[in-house]
Amino acid sequence: MAQKSRFLAIFLAFSLVFAGFPRFVHGASFSDSDSLPTLPSAESRIPRRTEKRVITFYSSTPDQTDDTPFITANGTRVRDGIAAANFLSFGTRVRLPELFGSKVFVIHDRMHPRFGSRVDIWVETREEAIERGVAYTTVEIY
Protein backbone atom coordinates (compact mmCIF):
# COMPACT_ATOMS: atom_id res chain seq x y z
CA MET A 1 0.00 0.00 0.00
CA ALA A 2 2.87 2.39 0.81
CA GLN A 3 4.39 1.75 -2.62
CA LYS A 4 1.08 2.62 -4.28
CA SER A 5 0.86 5.90 -2.32
CA ARG A 6 4.44 6.82 -3.20
CA PHE A 7 3.81 6.10 -6.89
CA LEU A 8 0.69 8.31 -6.77
CA ALA A 9 2.64 11.15 -5.11
CA ILE A 10 5.42 10.96 -7.72
CA PHE A 11 2.89 10.80 -10.55
CA LEU A 12 1.10 13.91 -9.24
CA ALA A 13 4.38 15.80 -8.81
CA PHE A 14 5.46 15.05 -12.40
CA SER A 15 1.98 15.92 -13.68
CA LEU A 16 2.15 19.34 -12.05
CA VAL A 17 5.66 20.03 -13.30
CA PHE A 18 5.08 18.96 -16.89
CA ALA A 19 1.57 20.43 -17.10
CA GLY A 20 2.93 23.92 -16.41
CA PHE A 21 1.32 24.62 -13.04
CA PRO A 22 -0.07 27.20 -12.64
CA ARG A 23 -1.58 26.92 -16.09
CA PHE A 24 -1.33 29.83 -18.46
CA VAL A 25 -4.21 31.00 -20.62
CA HIS A 26 -3.37 33.30 -23.50
CA GLY A 27 -0.13 34.27 -21.78
CA ALA A 28 -1.72 35.09 -18.42
CA SER A 29 -1.83 33.01 -15.28
CA PHE A 30 -5.10 32.33 -13.50
CA SER A 31 -4.07 34.80 -10.81
CA ASP A 32 -3.78 37.56 -13.41
CA SER A 33 -7.55 37.92 -13.93
CA ASP A 34 -7.32 41.44 -15.39
CA SER A 35 -5.98 40.14 -18.68
CA LEU A 36 -8.31 37.15 -19.10
CA PRO A 37 -10.90 37.40 -21.87
CA THR A 38 -14.38 38.44 -20.74
CA LEU A 39 -17.88 37.93 -22.03
CA PRO A 40 -19.76 40.88 -23.49
CA SER A 41 -22.04 42.68 -21.06
CA ALA A 42 -25.78 42.15 -21.39
CA GLU A 43 -26.31 45.84 -22.15
CA SER A 44 -24.31 45.57 -25.35
CA ARG A 45 -26.48 42.83 -26.86
CA ILE A 46 -28.32 43.76 -30.00
CA PRO A 47 -31.96 42.63 -30.22
CA ARG A 48 -32.90 40.15 -32.96
CA ARG A 49 -35.75 42.49 -33.84
CA THR A 50 -37.63 45.49 -32.52
CA GLU A 51 -41.39 45.92 -32.86
CA LYS A 52 -44.12 48.25 -31.66
CA ARG A 53 -46.69 46.27 -29.64
CA VAL A 54 -49.61 46.74 -27.28
CA ILE A 55 -48.51 46.01 -23.71
CA THR A 56 -50.99 45.00 -21.02
CA PHE A 57 -50.60 43.87 -17.42
CA TYR A 58 -52.13 40.97 -15.52
CA SER A 59 -52.08 39.51 -12.03
CA SER A 60 -52.79 36.08 -10.58
CA THR A 61 -56.52 36.53 -10.09
CA PRO A 62 -59.08 33.90 -11.18
CA ASP A 63 -60.78 36.24 -13.66
CA GLN A 64 -57.45 36.88 -15.46
CA THR A 65 -56.06 33.33 -15.43
CA ASP A 66 -57.11 29.68 -15.58
CA ASP A 67 -57.65 27.39 -12.57
CA THR A 68 -53.93 27.54 -11.64
CA PRO A 69 -53.38 31.29 -11.26
CA PHE A 70 -49.81 31.08 -9.92
CA ILE A 71 -48.48 28.65 -12.56
CA THR A 72 -47.64 29.86 -16.08
CA ALA A 73 -48.45 28.00 -19.30
CA ASN A 74 -45.01 26.36 -19.34
CA GLY A 75 -45.16 25.33 -15.67
CA THR A 76 -43.10 28.14 -14.13
CA ARG A 77 -44.32 29.73 -10.90
CA VAL A 78 -45.15 33.43 -11.40
CA ARG A 79 -42.60 36.00 -10.27
CA ASP A 80 -41.29 39.41 -11.22
CA GLY A 81 -39.99 39.37 -14.80
CA ILE A 82 -42.59 36.95 -16.22
CA ALA A 83 -44.38 37.87 -19.43
CA ALA A 84 -46.98 36.29 -21.70
CA ALA A 85 -47.04 36.45 -25.49
CA ASN A 86 -48.56 34.11 -28.06
CA PHE A 87 -46.29 35.18 -30.92
CA LEU A 88 -43.01 34.36 -29.11
CA SER A 89 -41.53 31.03 -27.98
CA PHE A 90 -41.23 30.15 -24.30
CA GLY A 91 -37.91 31.38 -22.94
CA THR A 92 -37.67 34.34 -25.32
CA ARG A 93 -36.24 37.42 -23.60
CA VAL A 94 -37.76 40.83 -24.23
CA ARG A 95 -37.12 44.37 -23.04
CA LEU A 96 -39.52 47.29 -22.95
CA PRO A 97 -37.04 50.18 -22.73
CA GLU A 98 -39.61 53.00 -22.80
CA LEU A 99 -41.46 51.50 -19.81
CA PHE A 100 -38.86 49.54 -17.84
CA GLY A 101 -35.42 50.65 -19.05
CA SER A 102 -32.99 47.72 -19.25
CA LYS A 103 -35.15 45.25 -17.28
CA VAL A 104 -35.47 41.90 -19.06
CA PHE A 105 -38.70 39.87 -19.13
CA VAL A 106 -38.90 36.20 -20.10
CA ILE A 107 -41.86 34.68 -21.93
CA HIS A 108 -43.31 31.88 -19.77
CA ASP A 109 -47.04 32.35 -20.28
CA ARG A 110 -49.72 32.54 -22.96
CA MET A 111 -52.79 34.70 -23.45
CA HIS A 112 -56.24 34.10 -24.89
CA PRO A 113 -55.87 33.60 -28.68
CA ARG A 114 -57.75 36.83 -29.44
CA PHE A 115 -54.80 38.76 -27.95
CA GLY A 116 -52.22 37.11 -30.21
CA SER A 117 -50.08 40.18 -30.90
CA ARG A 118 -49.84 41.64 -27.38
CA VAL A 119 -47.30 41.26 -24.62
CA ASP A 120 -48.80 40.81 -21.15
CA ILE A 121 -46.58 41.59 -18.13
CA TRP A 122 -47.27 39.84 -14.82
CA VAL A 123 -47.59 42.12 -11.77
CA GLU A 124 -48.29 41.19 -8.14
CA THR A 125 -51.67 42.83 -7.64
CA ARG A 126 -54.80 43.52 -9.62
CA GLU A 127 -54.56 47.16 -8.53
CA GLU A 128 -51.11 47.50 -10.09
CA ALA A 129 -52.36 45.92 -13.33
CA ILE A 130 -55.24 48.42 -13.49
CA GLU A 131 -52.97 51.34 -12.56
CA ARG A 132 -50.46 50.51 -15.31
CA GLY A 133 -53.24 50.10 -17.87
CA VAL A 134 -52.40 49.62 -21.54
CA ALA A 135 -49.41 50.96 -23.45
CA TYR A 136 -48.22 50.93 -27.04
CA THR A 137 -44.45 50.77 -26.95
CA THR A 138 -41.25 49.35 -28.42
CA VAL A 139 -40.49 45.71 -27.66
CA GLU A 140 -36.89 44.53 -28.08
CA ILE A 141 -36.87 40.79 -28.78
CA TYR A 142 -33.69 38.82 -27.98
User: Is the confidence at residue 27, as pLDDT, over 60?
Assistant: no
Note the pLDDT of residue 4: 65
DSSP assignment of 52-98 equals: EEEEEEE-S-TTTS-S-TTB-TTSPBP-TTEEE-SSS-TT-EEE-HH
For residues 110 and 116, the answer to whether their CB atoms sit within 8 Å is no
Q: Tens digit of pLDDT for each residue in 34-54? A: 555 665 565 678 999 999 999
pLDDT, mean over the chain: 84
CATH of domain 48-141: 2.40.40
Region 108-132: what's the mean pLDDT? 96
pLDDT at site 15: 63
Among 31-40, 82-91, 128-137, the least confident range: 31-40
Please state whether the predicted TM-score (pTM) of the whole model is above 0.75. Answer: no
Please state the domain extents for the chain: 2-35, 48-141
Angle, alpha carbons 62-112-80 (nearest 5°): 60
Percent of the chain residues topping a pLDDT of 90: 61
Residue 12 pLDDT:
63
pLDDT higher than 50, residue 30: no
Among 4-8, 46-50, 95-99, 115-119, whose mean pLDDT is lowest?
A: 4-8
